[in-house]
Structure 1
Amino acid sequence: MNNTLNFSQFRHQSKKGIVIIYLNLLYKVFKAFWLLLFLFIQKFAKIPENTLTFIYIGLGFLLLFFLIRAFLIFKNFQFKIYNNHFILKKGILKKTNTSIPFDRIQNINYKQNIIQQIINVHEVNIETAGSSKAEISIKALSIIEAKALKKAITIYDKKDAANEEEIIEKPLLKIGFFELIKVSLTENHLQSLLILFALLVGFFQQISDLFDGLGKREILDNYISENTSTLETSVVLIIGLLIFFTIIAVLSSVVRVVLRHFDLTVFIKNNALEINQGLTTKKSVVLKKAKVQHITVSTNPIKKWLGISFITFKQAISGKVKKKQDKVIKIVGCKKAQVLEIKNLLFPNENLEGFTKNLPDIYFRFRLYFRTLILLILINIGLFFGFENNYVFGLNVIILPIFILFIKLKYKKRYYFFNEELLVVGQGSIETHKTILPFFKVQNVKLKQTIFQVKKNVADIVFQTASGKVKIPCIPIEKALLIYNYTLYKIEISKKSWM
C-alpha cells in the first residue's frame, strides 16, 4: 500500500472537510430557528438602524464561532487502523475514543451530497448493527483514500488480500433514466399522497402558530371558514382537488425515485452486492451476504405486467433503534432472472418452486372485516361532525366495495410455506410482498394467542430476527406448534453465524 494511504498512524480527513462540517453546523441552526429568520425578514423594515447594526455584528460573531467550532471538530477528528480495529479520536471539550473490531462492522458506505460533489470529496460511513445511523462518519475523503480505507477494513487477512486482485466485478443490474421513470410510475402513489398530506398539515400548524404570535389568528380562521363553505357546496371543486393532489402525488413519486435511485448499478463482488445510486446524494453500499437477515421481494399488478419487482434487504439493527431506514436497502427494477440470481447468491441450492401455499384460518378474514367495520364507523362519525350536508355519506357506496376488495386480496396474499432451511411468508393487498427468512437467522420464536384465538384454536407465530419481526397470523394451532417446534430445533442445531 502507498505510504500516503497507510492508516497505521493517526490521520485527519481532507481539509475540505472543514467546509462540510461548517455548512452542516449552519444547516442545523437554520433548521432549528428558521421561523425566527422568517419573522426577522417580515419585520425588517420596522427595525431601527442601530438595532440592525447590533444584529449584523451578532450574526458575524455567530458565523465566526461556528467556523472556529468546525475547525476544532476537524482538528480533533483523527482515525487509524490498528490490530484489526478501526480507532477514532474526536471531541472538543469532551474527548471520546472509539474502537470497533473489523468483524463487528456491518457496512462501509460511500456518500456524496451536492456540496461534497462540488468540492470532490466523499463521505465514508462505517456502520455496526446497533446504530440507526452511521456509527462513524468521515465527512471528507478523496475517492482514493475512501477505497483504500474500505479495502484495509474489509480485506484484513492474507488469504482475502490475495484473492482480492483476482475477482472481477460482475454487473448484475443497471437502471437507466427512462427505465427509472417506468419504475416510479408503478410506485405506491397513495403513500406519496399521505406524505404530502402530512407535510401540508405540518405546514398549516406552523402557519397557525405564526398567526397566533402576530395576533392575526382571526384573519386565518375567517379565510379557512369561507373556503371550507365553498368546498362543501362544490362537487366539481372537490373532484378537481382530488385530481390535482393525485397528479402531485405521482410527480412526487417520480422525483423521489429518480433522486434516490438515479444511475442505479448493482455488482456482484467478493460474494457480496455493491449498490451505487443517487443524484443529489450519491451512495455506494456494499451489502455482505452474512449481514443480510432476510429479504422481501415485492411487486404489484403494473410491475408484474412489466416484469419487474424490487428487493428489500433487511440488516441487523439494535432493539433500541427508532430510525431503521438506514438499515433497509432496496434495489428497484429487478427482472425475474436478476431476482433469481440474488436469491441464489444469498440462499444457494434452495429451491422454492412447487410448494403449496398455506393460507391463514378463516378467522383472519373475520378479524379483518371486524376491524374494517370499526374504521367505517369512525369515518362516518368524522363525516357527521365535519360536514353539514348529508350527501357526503354517499361516499360509503364507493368506500365499502373498495374495503371488501382489499380484505379479499389481503387474505389471499397472506400465505406461508417452508422447506428445511427457509421460511417464506407472503402478505399485501394491492402490492405483493414475499419475505424469505433462513431459520438459522431467527433469534427467538413466539407463539401468541388472544382469548378469541383460543376459542377458535388458532395462533400467531412471531419470528424475531436481528432486523425485526416476521409474523404469520391466525393459523391452526396444530400447524403453529409444528412450525414453532421445528424453528426451535433449527435454532438449536444450527452452527451458522447469524452475523
Structure 2
Amino acid sequence: MDSIENFRQFRRQSKKGILVIYLNLIYKALKAFWLLLIIFIQKFSNISETTIFYIYLGVGGLLLFFLIRAYLIFKNFQFKIENQHFILKKGIFKKTSISIPFDRIQNINFKQNIIQQLINVHEVNIETAGSSKAEISIKALSFKAASALKNAVAIDEYTREVENKETIKPLLKVGFKALMKVSLTENHLQSLVLLFAILAGFYQQISEISGGLGKEGILDSYIFKNNAALESSVFLIVGLLLLLTVIAVISSVVRVLLRHFNLRVYLKDNALEIYQGLVTKKSIVLKKDKVQHITISHNPIKKKLGISFITFKQAISGKVKKKQDKIIKIVGCKKEQIVVITDLLFPNENLEAKNKHFSNVYFKFRLYLRSIAFLGVLNVLLVVFQEGNLVFLGNLLLLPMVVFFVELKFKKRYYILNENVIVLNAGSIETHRTYLPFFKVQNIQLKQTILQAKREVVDVVFQTASGKIKIPCIAMVNAQEIYNYTLFKVETSLKSWM
C-alpha cells in the first residue's frame, strides 16, 4: 500500500501509463490528419497494391515510433516530494525539472477517461494559480497511489481525501432526472452557437483539403445549388429552424450529461469535494481560501423549479484567455444548499439585508446607444445585399426585443454593499449574482469616458486574481466611497487572498 514515505525518492507512474501515453499520441495524430484518413478510405479502391503496401509500412513505422516515444516519455517522467515541494523531472532530449512549493498548489484533481477506467488507473492533475492548465499531469496512478500523493501534497487537513464516501451523506447529489431538468433549462442558444463553431471548423478543413486536391469548385457549386433550393421553399426554412432548435436542445442535454453526470458534492471542514463526469470522470477539491469569488445564476425556468448553478472562480494567470479561466461549476443547487455554500465562504455575513444601489440612468442610455448602432449596421448590410424588403420586417421584430432586453438589463444591474463583501447583480434573461470579498481585491480603478464626465458618473473596476469585475455607470460620489472603503479593507485585512 502506498504511503507518504513512498514519495521521498524519485518514482515513476504505473507501467500502464505507457498505454495511456501511447493512445494519447495516436489520438493527437488522428485528430490532426482525420480528413486524410477519410480521403484514403474513399480512394482505397483506386490505389495500387504497391502504394497500399508502402502506406501500411509507413503507418506501421509511425505506430512503432509512437510506442518508442511513449516508453521514453514514461521512463523519463519521475517525481518526488522533498522539503514541502513537489519535484518533477521529464523530457526525452530536452530535460525539464520543475519544483512547485505546496503553498502555490491550487488544486489536486483526479480524472479518468474511458481508457483509464478500463485499465483502472487515475490521472492526477496538479494546478497552480499562475497556469492556464494543469501544471503537472500524471497520466496513470492507482487509486491508492493517487490518494497517497494527494494526502502527501495536502498542506491542510481539509484537503485530504474523503474516506468511506458511501457512508457520508453528500451536500448535493444530482441524479439523472434532476440533471435532465438542468439540461432542459440551459441556454440552448449557446449550445447552438458552439455547434455552429464546430461545423465551421469542419467546413474550413474540408475546404482546405478540397483546395489542395483542386476540387474547391465542386464544393462551392454544391453549396450554391442547395442554398438556392432552400431560399425558394418556406417549408424547408421552417423545417430547418425546427431542426436547429431540436439539435440545440439535444446538444445541451448531451453537454450537461457528459460533464455533470452523477454529480456529488461533499462538504468537509473548509473545502468542497466535487465528483462528476460520464465519459471522463473528475474529482475536484475546492478549497475555501483558493476561491476568489462566486456567482449564483438562474433563469426564469430554473427559478420556477427552485434550482440554480454556482460558478467558482479561482486565481488565474494574467495571460489566460476567458475560455481557459479556471471555473468550477455546480449545477442543480437548491436554496438550502446555496445557503450552506455561502455560509462556508462568507460566514456571519447577512448578504440580503442591505439596500440595493442601481446604476445611473446613463447606463440605460449607453445600452440603447449600442443597440441602435447594431441595428444601424444590420440595416445597412440588408440594403447592401439587396434585402431591403426585410428591413421593415426586421426592425418590426427587433425593436421591441431591444427595448425589452435593455430595460430588463438595466433593472437587474445593481450592487449591495456589506461590511466585508460586495454583491453585484447583473443579467437579462439569466440573472447572475456575484459575491466578492473585499480582501480578495488586488486593484481597484475608476474609469470615465468624456460623456460620463459630463454626467458625473464613472465605472468601478475591481481587479482580482481571477479577472475583472465591473460596476458600470454609478455616481462619482458613490464610486469614491467604494474606492476608499475597498482600499481600507484591503490594507487592514490580515486574511490571505490565496
Per the normalisation by structure 2, the TM-score is 0.95
Q: Which moved more, 1:431-440 or 1:476-485?
A: 476-485
Structure 1 residues 239 and 84: alpha-carbon distance in aligned structure 2, compared to 1, 3 A threshold: same
Q: 1:389, CA displacement in angstroms?
A: 6.9
SS at match of 1:133: coil
Alignment-derived partner of residue 75 in structure 2? 75
Structure 1 residues 327 and 269: alpha-carbon distance in aligned structure 2, compared to 1, 3 A threshold: same
Indicate yes or no: 2:369 matched with 1:353: no
Indicate yes or no: 2:226 matched with 1:227: yes
Distance 2:457 2:467 in 1: 23
Distance 2:101 2:4 in 1: 23
Whether the 8 Å CA contact 1:5–1:148 is kept in 2: the answer is: no
Alignment-derived partner of residue 248 in structure 2? 249
Alignment-derived partner of residue 198 in structure 2? 199
Whether the 8 Å CA contact 1:169–1:268 is kept in 2: the answer is: no
* Seq. identity, %: 67
Distance 1:369 1:339 in 2: 35
Alignment-derived partner of residue 109 in structure 1? 109
Structure 1 residues 96 and 307: alpha-carbon distance in aligned structure 2, compared to 1, 3 A threshold: same
Q: 1:360, CA displacement in angstroms?
A: 0.7
Q: Which moved more, 1:129-138 or 1:191-200?
A: 191-200
Whether the 8 Å CA contact 1:5–1:145 is kept in 2: the answer is: no
Q: 1:404, CA displacement in angstroms?
A: 1.3
Letter in 1 for 2:223: I
Q: 1:414, CA displacement in angstroms?
A: 0.8
Distance 1:56 1:201 in 2: 32
**Any gaps of 5 or more consecutive residues in structure 1?**
none
Alignment-derived partner of residue 184 in structure 1? 183
Alignment-derived partner of residue 474 in structure 2? 475
Structure 1 residues 87 and 272: alpha-carbon distance in aligned structure 2, compared to 1, 3 A threshold: same
Distance 1:321 1:98 in 2: 21
Letter in 1 for 2:432: H
User: What per-residue deviation string (whole Å, max 9, x for no partner) do you get for residues 274-295 of structure 1?
Assistant: 0000000000000000000000
Alignment-derived partner of residue 139 in structure 1? 139
Whether the 8 Å CA contact 2:158–2:268 is kept in 1: the answer is: no
Per the normalisation by structure 1, the TM-score is 0.95
Distance 2:481 2:382 in 1: 47
RMSD between superposed Cα atoms in Å: 2.2
User: What per-residue deviation string (whole Å, max 9, x for no partner) do you get for residues 141-199 of structure 1?
Assistant: 1111111111111157xx88999999995520000001000000110111011112222
Distance 2:479 2:143 in 1: 52
Whether the 8 Å CA contact 2:2–2:144 is kept in 1: the answer is: no
SS at match of 1:356: coil
SS at match of 1:260: helix
Q: Which moved more, 1:37-46 or 1:341-350?
A: 37-46
Structure 1 residues 164 and 186: alpha-carbon distance in aligned structure 2, compared to 1, 3 A threshold: closer
Q: Which moved more, 1:379-388 or 1:202-211?
A: 379-388
Whether the 8 Å CA contact 2:4–2:148 is kept in 1: the answer is: no
User: What per-residue deviation string (whole Å, max 9, x for no partner) do you get for residues 180-223 of structure 1?
Assistant: 00000110111011112222222222232233233233333332
Q: Which moved more, 1:213-222 or 1:28-37?
A: 213-222
Indicate yes or no: 2:319 matched with 1:320: yes
Whether the 8 Å CA contact 2:87–2:99 is kept in 1: the answer is: yes
Structure 1 residues 397 and 161: alpha-carbon distance in aligned structure 2, compared to 1, 3 A threshold: closer
User: What per-residue deviation string (whole Å, max 9, x for no partner) do you get for residues 423-480 of structure 1?
Assistant: 1111100000000000000000000001111111110010000000110001111111
Alignment-derived partner of residue 6 in structure 1? 6
Letter in 2 for 1:148: A
Whether the 8 Å CA contact 2:4–2:149 is kept in 1: the answer is: no
Indicate yes or no: 2:16 matched with 1:16: yes
Whether the 8 Å CA contact 2:423–2:435 is kept in 1: the answer is: yes
Q: Which moved more, 1:385-394 or 1:18-27?
A: 385-394
Whether the 8 Å CA contact 2:159–2:271 is kept in 1: the answer is: no
**Any gaps of 5 or more consecutive residues in structure 2?**
none
Structure 1 residues 4 and 498: alpha-carbon distance in aligned structure 2, compared to 1, 3 A threshold: closer
Letter in 1 for 2:398: I
Alignment-derived partner of residue 264 in structure 1? 263
Alignment-derived partner of residue 31 in structure 1? 31
Whether the 8 Å CA contact 1:317–1:324 is kept in 2: the answer is: no
SS at match of 1:436: strand
